[in-house]
Structure 1
Amino acid sequence: MTHRPAGRPLRPVRPYPAGSWDGPPPAPADVDPAVLAALLRRHGWQRRGGAPGRYGRWTPPGPAGAATSLLVPESRAFPDSDDLLAEALLALTRAGTPSARAVLLGLAVPSDEIHWCREAPAGPGEATAWTAAEQLRTAARRMLLAGALATRARAGYYGARHRRAAAETLADVLVGPAPGGHRLTAHLPVATGRPLAVRLHQALHAAREAVDYQRATGGLDAFDTAVEAGVSHELTEALVALVQGTEGARIAVDWAPAAGAPEGRAAPAEPVGFSPGDLPVLREAGARYLCAEPSVPVRLTGTVVRMRRSGPRGAGTVRLRVLSGADVPHVRVALDEDAYHIAGHAHLVGLPVRVDGRLESRGGFRRLTGAGGVVPVQVDDADRDRMLKALREDLDFFDEACAGD
Structure 2
Amino acid sequence: MTHRLLEEPVRPVRPHPDDIAAAWHRPPQPDQVDPAVLGALLHRHGWRRRGGASGRYGRWTPPGPGGGGTSLLVPESRAFPDSDDLLGEALQALTRSGTPSAREVLIGLAVPSDEIRWWREAPSGPADSVPWNVEAQLRAAARQMLLAGALATRARAGYYGARHRRAAAALLEHVLVGPAAADGRLTAFVPLDTGRTLAVRLHQALYAAREAVDYQRATGGMDAFDGAVEAGVSRELTEALIALVRGTEGARIGVEWAPSAGVPENCAAGVEPVEFSPGDLPALREAGERYLREEPPVPVRITGTVVRMRRPGPRCEGSIRLRVIAGAEIPQVRITLDEEDYRIAGHAHLVGLPVRLHGQLESRGGFRRLTGACGVAPVQVEEAERDRLMKSLQENLDFFEEACSGDDCD
**Structure 1-normalised TM-score?**
0.90
Name 1:141's counterpart in structure 2: 143
Quote the offset at 1:78 in angstroms: 2.6
Say if 1:255 and 1:268, in contact at 8 Å, map to a contact too: no
* Aligned residue in 2 for 1:122: 124
In structure 2, the partner of 1:79 is: 81
How many residues of Structure 1 are paired with residues of Structure 2 in the alignment?
A: 382
Secondary structure of 1:136 counterpart: helix
Give, in angstroms, the shift of residue 299 of structure 1: 1.3
How far the C-alpha of 1:398 sits from its partner, in A, is 9.4
Q: Give the structure 2 partner of residue 284 of structure 1.
A: 286
Task: Tell me, in whole angstroms, the C-alpha distance in 1 between the residues paired with 2:62 and 2:339.
Answer: 72
Name the structure 1 match of 2:95.
93
How many Å apart are 1:62 and its aligned residue? 2.8
Shifted more, 244-253 versus 255-264: the winner is 255-264
Q: Work out whether residues 119 and 247 of structure 1, in 8 Å CA contact, stay in contact via their aligned partners in 2.
A: yes
Q: Deviations over 1:31-67 (max 9, x none)?
A: 1111111111111111122222222111112343021
In structure 1, stretches of 5+ residues that fail to align are: 1-12, 400-405
Instruction: Please give the secondary structure, in 2, of the residue aligned with 1:180.
Output: coil
Who is 1:4 aligned against?
none
CA contact (8 A) 2:117 2:187 kept: yes
The sequence identity of aligned pairs, in percent, is 74
Q: 1:179 to 1:77 in 2, by over 3 A?
A: same
Aligned partners of 2:350 and 2:393 also within 8 Å? no
Q: Runs (4+) of structure 1 moved beyond 6 Å?
A: 396-399
Tell whether 2:36 aligns with 1:31. no
User: 1:356, CA displacement in angstroms?
Assistant: 1.2
Secondary structure (helix, strand or coil) at the match of 1:172 reads: coil
* Distance change (3 Å), C-alpha of 1:389 and 1:122: farther
TM alignment of 1:4-403, pairs within 5 A? 25-180=27-182, 182-395=184-397
Q: Which residue identity lines up with residue 58 of structure 1 in the other structure?
A: W
Cα offset, 1:181, TM superposition: 7.2
Of residues 116-125 and 281-290 in structure 1, the stretch that sits farther from structure 2 once superposed is 116-125
Aligned CA RMSD, in angstroms, stands at: 2.1
Distance 2:351 2:167 in 1: 30
Aligned to 2:173, what secondary structure does the other structure show? Answer: helix
Q: CA deviation at 1:185?
A: 0.7
**Which stretch of the first structure deviates more once superposed, 200-209 or 59-68?**
59-68
**AA matched with 1:195:** T
Change in CA separation of 1:200 and 1:62 when aligned onto 2, cut-off 3 Å: same
Q: Is the 8 A contact 1:58 1:69 kept in 2?
A: yes
Unaligned runs of 5+ in 2: 1-16, 402-410
Alpha-carbon distance in 1 for matches of 2:395, 2:138:
39
Query: Conserved in 2, the CA contact under 8 Å of 1:126 and 1:180?
Result: no
